[in-house]
Structure 1
Amino acid sequence: MADVLLFHHALGLTPGVAAFAEALRGHGHSVHTPDLYDGRTFDTLDAGLAYSDEIGVDEILDRGARAAADIPAEPVYIGFSLGVLPAQKLAQTRPGARGAVLVHACVPSSFFGPWPAAVPVRIHAMEADRVFTDEGDADAARALVDQVPDAELHLYPGDEHLFADSSLPSYDAKATALLLDHTLTFLRTP
């Protein structure tokens, strides 16, 4: 089974993020869910992003790195939206990454240097999610798929950004079931 480090989105470590982690645990994986916001959660994306701006991207990345320090070798990094930043950085820069699953977002790999050819990556988003399509994430995802030998982009019908968080109105059970299925398959891959 895989060791997984799952980073939450800009609303914080919500019950829906915890539920996704628990679904992975239910299949025997060891899932760690560090709280990058020290217990704070937010009701709106704007409020959560304002708090992340207050903390700063560098601090979010540092908190992610500190959380990874105690994780066993060869983890899989999973990030939901804002959590893609530490997940992607660690997958690209920390030796021993077994893979990365980037959900709702993707940043250009050049942010953190070249993507290691031996580290597989899966990117998941809704095809009409304006945050994903209009802010450059879709372009970054397609470029990553073109660069990395073992990379896949999975686009689901719909336009919600945080579709995989069961505690939010944007939750899409069907898309989340597909995401979970794809992720479990990925985690079983040696």
Structure 2
Amino acid sequence: MAEVLLFHHAQGLTSGVLAFAESLRAAGHTVHVPDLYEGRVFDDLADGAAYAQEKGFGSFVERGRAVAEDLPAELVYAGFSLGVLPAQALAQTRPGARGALLFHSCVPVTEFGDAWPQGVPVQVHGMDGDEFFMEEGDVDAARDLVGSVPDAELFLYPGKQHLFADSGLPSYEEEAAELLTRRALAFLARP
């Protein structure tokens, strides 16, 4: 079974993020879900993004690194949207990474180094009509990653919701979220 460090999105540590973590635990995985917002949860994505911008996106990467220091090196790093930043940074820079699950976002590999580390598998999930994923460069970063890393997969789902896998938000898309969860569980079950 895998050990996962899962980071929440810009709206905070929502009930939907916690429910996703529970679905991984129910399959036998150990899942750590730190609250990088220190209890703040935002009803609106724009408000949460404004808070993240005010604090500085780099501060969330550093908070994620600090959490990881107290955990084993052999982790799968996962993140929802904003949470992709610390997840991807750790997967690329912390020795021992077992993989990365990047939900609703992906940044260029050059953001955290020269290349994706050899032998670290990665999945990227997004909706083909999500304006943030499709129009802000995330899909391009994901395609570049898939084109250069043998163990990289990009999954595009029909729809336009950004945080479609968070069951606690109005943007939740049950069918796509269930497929994302099945794919993530298959990824975590790899030897």
TM-score (norm 1): 0.99
Distance 2:127 2:118 in 1: 26
2:170 is equivalent to residue 169 of structure 1: yes
Which residue of structure 2 aligns with residue 26 of structure 1? 26
Which residue of structure 1 aligns with residue 79 of structure 2? 79
2:98 is equivalent to residue 112 of structure 1: no
Q: What are the Cα deviations for residues 27-66 of structure 1, in whole angstroms up to 9, with x where unaligned?
A: 1100000111001010111100111011111211110001
What's the CA shift for 1:73? Answer: 2.9
What's the CA shift for 1:184? Answer: 0.5
Give the ranges of 4+ consecutive aligned residues of structure 1 lying more than 2 Å apart after TM superposition.
none
Distance 1:11 1:145 in 2: 28
Which residue of structure 1 aligns with residue 55 of structure 2? 55
What's the CA shift for 1:174? Answer: 0.5
SS in 1 for 2:6: strand
SS in 1 for 2:110: helix
Equivalent residue runs for 1:34-183 within 5 Å: 34-113=34-113, 114-183=115-184
Aligned residues: 190
What's the CA shift for 1:141? Answer: 0.3
Could you say what the CA RMSD is over the residues aligned between the two structures, in angstroms? 0.6
Distance 1:11 1:148 in 2: 31
Q: What are the Cα deviations for residues 115-168 of structure 1, in whole angstroms up to 9, with x where unaligned?
A: 102111000011111110000000000000001110000011111000000010
Distance 1:48 1:73 in 2: 30
SS in 1 for 2:142: helix
Is the 8 Å Cα contact of residues 73 and 94 (structure 2) preserved in structure 1? no
Amino acid at match of 1:111: E
Which residue of structure 2 aligns with residue 2 of structure 1? 2
- Unaligned 5+ residue runs, structure 2? none
What's the CA shift for 1:104? Answer: 0.1
Distance 2:130 2:56 in 1: 24
Distance 1:3 1:76 in 2: 6
- Unaligned 5+ residue runs, structure 1? none
Distance 1:33 1:119 in 2: 21
Distance 2:5 2:55 in 1: 21
Percent same amino acid among aligned pairs? 63
